[in-house]
Amino acid sequence: MKQLEKGNSKLLNAWASYDWANSVYSLVIASAIFPIYYGSLFKERGNLNIEVFGTTLKSTALISFTTAAAFLMVAFFSPLLSGIADYAGNKKSFMRFFCYLGATSSIGLCWFDLENIYFSLACYFFGLIGFWGSLVFYNSYLPDIAFPEQQDRISAKGYSMGYLGSVVLLIFNLAMVMKPTLFGITGTEGEAAMKAMRYSFISVGIWWIVFSQYAFYYLPKGTNGNGKVHTAVIFNGFRELKKVWHLMEENLRLKRYLLSFFVYSMAVQTVMLVATYFGEQEIAWESDSQRTMGLIISILVIQLVAVLGAVITSRMSEKFGNINALIGINCIWVVICITAFFVTLPVHFYVTAGFVGLVMGGIQSLSRSTYSKFLPETKDTASFFSFYDVAEKIGIVIGMVLYGLIDQITGSMRNSIVFLAVFFIAGVFLLIRVPKK
């Protein structure tokens, strides 16, 4: 097939379609169904603590630390792999590998149980690595396939497609969980619901693999590389990172923006990863069925509102500039974190979820396109985006570890959530220091 030219609408749509394929993982597994399934396992057991890795941990602290470990590994390997991808010119191969790793690990979650906790955590661990590892290369395609004036809108379109696609699958999974008999799922009400949740993990893996093929068909193999992989390539990856670091030293705007992104993204990603666990344990639900329905409805609200949020933010950036728009969004996040400390009733949780959705989609899409705009002219986009991704991943590691420690020590996730407001406040001050030109 003849390679499509940069800026071609079919190429842009193919790139954005990968969000449709992989976002079902972040919604169904990371945000909605898996946290409910995970919490239900501990409720059936009658004990929120578990003996693992030689110590006793609270269930939510355990998942926080496991998440942090996965992001630490992604942060360590992504710069190396990005350098190799740029050198060899085969970033699509790496993107495909991590896609399939994440999808098969998602299917493996069907057998997640507390009796085989190490195998179970391994599936969760590699699912995260697959999802975020593929995004390293997916994000790095943006400046390769779109011109600067196209990047804000196509980035927002990608997120919007991701939100819509994941909602479609989540609604299907919700129907399975709430009405399992309609799908031939047998057992008592509780048993059938748990089976349906396990089957939903399989549906995520299949969806991810099938719909990613459209992007893999049209995306170029990679930037111009020599195509030969040998031992020196490993060291070339580090050399590329060193070169990128020196280029960033000369680019004050890019350097300061990346610092601000590191700080506020630490809080954004942590909130997104723990929101459902917070709702599952800290909200006063009247029954287990109300808890399941309420949490999934909340996630659906977040996803649907996030589509609107991504579009509104794109328009705001055109009118007020990217940095000013990001400052405003961070201020809203501060209010959300402080308010969450006082949320106890389901109705309060629904309202908070609506505001989270409004700013969640916007801050993600605008952060990605702003960084892309600030990059110097270069073909080594994967290496530059590895810095972006490493900043995000290390931030998540710090955020999740702090969140887990505060949760483990104080016994409440409320204290952890309100603490995250500090990072958003710091993000505002750092964004103010980013040069406008």
Q: 163-217, pLDDT tens digit by residue?
A: 788 888 988 998 898 888 888 888 887 788 889 999 999 999 999 999 999 888 8
Give the bridge partners for 50, in sequence order. Answer: 57
Which tokens sit at 31? 């945000």
CATH code of the region 9-224+231-432: 1.20.1250.20
Reported as a pLDDT band with limits 50, 70 and 90, residue 226 is low
379-428 pLDDT, tens digit per residue, is: 566 667 767 777 778 888 998 898 888 888 887 778 888 888 899 999 99
Which tokens sit at 244? 């990128």
**pLDDT value, residue 86:** 62
- Mean pLDDT throughout 311-327? 85
Domain boundaries along the sequence of the chain:
9-224+231-432
- The DSSP line for 87-146 is HHT-HHHHHHHHHHHHHHHHHHGGG--STTHHHHHHHHHHHHHHHHHHHHHHHHTHHHHS
Q: Report strand pairing: 49-52 vs 55-58.
A: antiparallel
Q: What is the pTM of this model?
A: 0.80
- Dihedral of alpha carbons 192, 110, 56, 413, sign: negative
Which tokens sit at 225? 């590389």
Give the residue among 142, 136, 143 at the shortest CA–CA distance from 76. 136
- Mean pLDDT throughout 324-347? 89
Give the H or E element holding residue 74.
helix 59-88
**pLDDT value, residue 241:** 66
Residue 229 has pLDDT above 80, yes or no: no
| Residues contacting residue 41 through CB under 8 Å, at least 6 positions apart | 112, 113, 114
